[in-house]
Chain A
Amino acid sequence: MSYSTREEEWADWMRAAMSGDAQAYHRFLSAVTPYLRAMAKRRCDQFGAPASEAEDVVQEVLIAVHLKRGSWDAARPIGPWLSTIVRNKLIDSLRRRGRHVTVPIEDVIATLEAEERADNLDRLDVDHMLEKLKDPQRDIVRSISIEGTSVRQTAERLKMSEGAVRVALHRALKSLAALYRSETREDE
């Protein structure tokens, strides 16, 4: 698949996602992740940092893309928007981990244009950050991510409305991003 068709597909998914299509959004994030991983790994290899650190960076970048998706103008191509977010967050995240880097935008674009590769690593700073969230945010995040329950099931179990669970989830994701910003800065 060429980059431009892929970019259009990503844009379609993101448009659908922004109007509430969770499945399309899942497809978008899953499609973008291998590229993010390739970029993060390349940078971490450069410093002899472990692969698990690259995966932490990937997750942090994913959260940034998520929280900033409202800044994409749906009438424009998604590529330049995505490359810029990814590059800035990549630099920021690595820097806070004590790895001083520059990431040329051309590299990011080249990786996004390259052929897909798939692998799935895990483990995380997020688990550590999760501990710092307050309930019900922490409970909701755990329940949906690790136990794989839906928003509705979570709402029923916690005797909350679905809307309240969604709001709490959104706040939790914002808090996670803020925790990353304050937490990893100690390395500097």
Chain B
Amino acid sequence: MKTNDLISLLAEDAPVRLRLGRRLAFALIGGTAVAAILLLSTVGMRPDLASAIETARVQSKFMVTLALAIAACGLVFHIGRPGISLKPWIFALVAAPLLLAAAILTELAVLPETSWHAAMMGRYARFCVFFIPLLALGPLAFFLLALRQGAPESPGIAGAVAGLAAGGIAASIYASHCPDDSPLFVAVWYTTAIVIVTAIGGLIGSRLLRW
């Protein structure tokens, strides 16, 4: 086949049905909806959420998970686009750990040393590490499928970023159920859960997102 023939062939397939940005937006909405429905139809939100949300610990839990979700989603929306700088979003990712560090310092200052360990272990650590990745599967699948239309420089990193964003979304949703409010708990168990999702995303992405 001559190159000119190939060009004629490609030209016949000119229209783009759904651009990357649109696909990712659908993935974000769809994935978040799936995760929210999964939570609501199983364990549900904590019954005391309305009063709990007024406490600094619960607020900081939501702030940390939402900061992560927003920054990582911003990265997902740009990582499949060649020639665009990712720097602002990489910097934005730092917000979540900083917020968490501030919350931990406050917790350590307020809480007597004898109860640090109990606060860190919480009551439902195992369930947290199991359920956040489960909630993340929907958003992760949606993001990965949408990113197949993109052209990420490194497929593995793009997959990991999709996992991080899915983990952030799942953690934000799980926080509405989770009765363990200590930042020490969040730092250990939420982080573990999100690292698991990130690793899964990286593994799948390194295969699925090759182009």
Pair A144/B3 contact, Cβ less than 8 Å? no
From A66, A72, A150, A177, give the contact of B81 (CB < 8 A). A72
Pair B7/A70 contact, Cβ less than 8 Å? no
- A76 and B81 CA atoms in complex are apart in Å by 11
Main secondary structure of the interface of B (DSSP, over half): loop
Pair A80/B84 contact, Cβ less than 8 Å? yes
A85-B84 contact given A18-B14, A25-B14, A62-B7, CB 8 Å threshold: no
Residues of A near B80 (CB, < 8 A) are 71
A121-B150 contact given A22-B11, A73-B21, CB 8 Å threshold: no
Q: Is B12's beta carbon under 8 Å from chain A?
A: yes
- A24 and B211 CA atoms in complex are apart in Å by 25
A69-B16 contact given A26-B7, A145-B1, A145-B6, CB 8 Å threshold: yes
Pair A67/B11 contact, Cβ less than 8 Å? no
Residues of A near B6 (CB, < 8 A) are 59, 62-63, 126, 145
Q: Is A1's beta carbon under 8 Å from chain B?
A: no
Pair A124/B1 contact, Cβ less than 8 Å? yes
A73-B153 contact given A26-B7, A144-B9, A169-B12, CB 8 Å threshold: no
Q: How far is the CB of B87 from chain A (nearest CB, A)?
A: 14
Q: How far is the CB of B113 from chain A (nearest CB, A)?
A: 52
| CB proximity to B under 8 Å, residues A160-188 | 166, 169-170, 173, 177, 181
| CB proximity to B under 8 Å, residues A117-176 | 120-124, 126-127, 130, 141, 144-146, 148, 150-151, 166, 169-170, 173
Q: How far is the CB of B14 from chain A (nearest CB, A)?
A: 4
Residues of B near A19 (CB, < 8 A) are 15-16
From A37, A63, A71, A124, give the contact of B10 (CB < 8 A). A63
List the count of A-B residue pairs having beta carbons below 8 Å apart. Answer: 137
Residues of A near B18 (CB, < 8 A) are 70
- The number of chain B residues with a CB under 8 A from chain A is 32
- A55 and B9 CA atoms in complex are apart in Å by 16
- A84 and B81 CA atoms in complex are apart in Å by 9
Q: Is B5's beta carbon under 8 Å from chain A?
A: yes
A70-B8 contact given A81-B82, A84-B82, A170-B13, CB 8 Å threshold: no
- The number of chain A residues with a CB under 8 A from chain B is 59
List the B residue with the shortest CB-CB distance to A150.
Answer: B12
List the B residue with the shortest CB-CB distance to A64.
Answer: B211
Q: Is B149's beta carbon under 8 Å from chain A?
A: yes
The 8 A CB mask of B54-83 against A (1 = contact, 0 = none) is 000000000000000000000000001111
Q: Is A23's beta carbon under 8 Å from chain B?
A: yes
Pair A21/B13 contact, Cβ less than 8 Å? no
Residues of B near A122 (CB, < 8 A) are 1-4
Q: Is B20's beta carbon under 8 Å from chain A?
A: yes
Pair A68/B8 contact, Cβ less than 8 Å? no
Residues of A near B1 (CB, < 8 A) are 59, 122, 124, 126-127, 130, 145-146
List the B residue with the shortest CB-CB distance to A105.
Answer: B83
Residues of B near A121 (CB, < 8 A) are 2-3
- A81 and B81 CA atoms in complex are apart in Å by 7
The 6 nearest A-B residue pairs measured at CB: A80-B83, A84-B82, A122-B2, A20-B15, A26-B11, A145-B9
30 A-B pairs (CB sep. < 8 Å): A19-B16, A20-B14, A22-B14, A23-B11, A25-B11, A25-B14, A26-B11, A29-B11, A33-B7, A55-B3, A58-B3, A62-B6, A68-B150, A70-B18, A71-B149, A76-B83, A80-B82, A81-B83, A84-B82, A85-B151, A120-B2, A122-B2, A127-B1, A130-B1, A144-B8, A146-B5, A166-B13, A169-B9, A177-B211, A181-B210
